[in-house]
Structure 1
Amino acid sequence: MKRYEDPLALVDVTLFTIREGRLSLLLATRKNRDEPYFGALALPGGVIHTDEDENAQDAASRVVRTKLGFDPPYMEQLYTFSGRLRDPRRWSLSVAYYSLVPESVLEQTQVEGLEFVPADRIPDLPFDHNEIAAMAIRRLRSKSTYSSLLTFLLPSEFTIPELHAVYEQVTGSATNIAAFRKKVLDEDMIEATGERRKGGQHRAPDLYRRKGNGLQELKRTI
């Protein structure tokens, strides 16, 4: 009976944040000399550990935790990429995820070899990571218009102008802030904390937080 080589089973994570006012993608330097593209910037990823990972989501969470130094506040499966030529080692498949992380969380990591690049200026990456990143950006922009997804890019407390700025940056659309405020409040996706942002020369703006812990889908698009 003919025997077949097992495929290489991987996970890859496209991790987004807002850095210097721009939607940015985190890339990590490949540090294993025994693996392809040593020293290159790529999406954080790794092999699924069948002895400890219950599923692909657990593997992706482990990769972020061990390679980046934190647990991702939000992560969702994107797509499965597979093929004979995507990895020089052998036939492989990668379950890709996208994750959103506030910049304040990323500032706490002590991991070296990380680099942030604007989402509209991603360099040539190894494997099929450019294709994965492009799909993740499309998903992020689309889902941002009908869910509370973008609140995961902000700290636990934020102002409506800060949320509005993130929405415009991610979606690339200019929206009236008064209409935006009405929509997000009508959808009940955020709630007031009862506090105000301190500092500044003008009237301190009200602070809000995401309502609930998980993702909320909206009745109407923003």
Structure 2
Amino acid sequence: MEKNKPTVMVDIAIFTVFEDKLKILLIKRGSEPFKDSWALPGGALNTVTDNSLEEAAMRELVEETGVENQYLEQLCTYGGPDRDPRDWTLSVTYFALVAADEVTLRAGTDTMEAKWHTLTQDKVEVSLAFDHERIVCEAISRLRAKLDYTDIAVHLLPKEFTLSELQRVYEIIMQEKLNKSSFRMRVARADIVAPINGKMRTGSNRPAQLYQFVKHEGDRMFFPRSIAWAQERKK
């Protein structure tokens, strides 16, 4: 007798930075299993309307945040008979980065609430449904690894930002204090940002130059941890 085919799911770990914290978007489930529990946004692959796994992931991202064309990367695939009490499930997971000022949270049709949760020591303060705690840990690990050699951190910032704000994003995610001069030297060498002529951030401190992201194709070496962290620890 032919075995039942597994249900294919797409789950997304969506990160942002605000209130000087790394946050992840969670949804409160409105139905069983795990009714009233928090979980990652996601859903079943729609074989009629979804032309690819990435399209399904982007659909879920837009449904929950209202944000299109943001950083989205496939993370890992999880499967097994014990992940979901309803069925043998296969989950293709992604992680996404969004700028907090561009997001309008809106819960999906099968959820009660969508909310940003602070990550502390790579965990959230609530228990997660299914095996989503494991997925969150994997996503954070991938995010930190990508910071070593790509420019993806700029996707967590508004369109205009200062170098201090950019550095702070790296410090929040890596949980390390960075050397200011070393950081700025590497930003300049990587050519990932450009100053916006005539635009400054004003406030209680002296005015700071505003920058914008410079788009490039592909990943480029940006922030070798071994050099930057070693310089900081020598101080």
Matches within 5 A, 1:63-78: 63-71=60-68, 73-78=70-75
The residue number in structure 1 matching 2:100 is: 103
Is 1:182 the equivalent of 2:179? no
Q: Write the distance in 1 (CA, Å) between the matches of 2:133 and 2:69.
A: 21
Task: Provide the TM-score with structure 1 as the length reference.
Answer: 0.91
List runs of 5+ in structure 1 lacking aligned partners: none
Matches within 5 A, 1:29-178: 29-31=28-30, 33=31, 35-71=32-68, 73-106=70-103, 108-111=104-107, 113-120=113-120, 121-122=123-124, 123-178=126-181
Task: Provide the TM-score with structure 2 as the length reference.
Answer: 0.87
Deviation of residue 69 (structure 1)?
A: 2.8
Flag the 1:170–1:220 CA change in 2: closer, same or farther, 3 A. closer
Flag the 1:129–1:214 CA change in 2: closer, same or farther, 3 A. farther
Give the secondary structure class of the aligned counterpart of 1:84. strand
Q: Write the distance in 1 (CA, Å) between the matches of 2:28 and 2:79.
A: 22
Runs of 4+ in 1 over 4 A off after TM superposition: none
Deviation of residue 166 (structure 1)?
A: 0.6
List runs of 5+ in structure 2 lacking aligned partners: 226-235
Deviation of residue 72 (structure 1)?
A: 5.2
Q: 1:132-174, CA deviations, whole angstroms, 9 ceiling, x for partnerless residues?
A: 0000000101111211011000011111000001101101121
Q: Residues 187 and 222 of structure 2 are in contact (CA less than 8 Å); yes or no, is this contact kept in structure 1?
A: no
More strand by share: 2
Q: 1:75-128, CA deviations, whole angstroms, 9 ceiling, x for partnerless residues?
A: 10000011110111111110000000111012x335471222222241220111
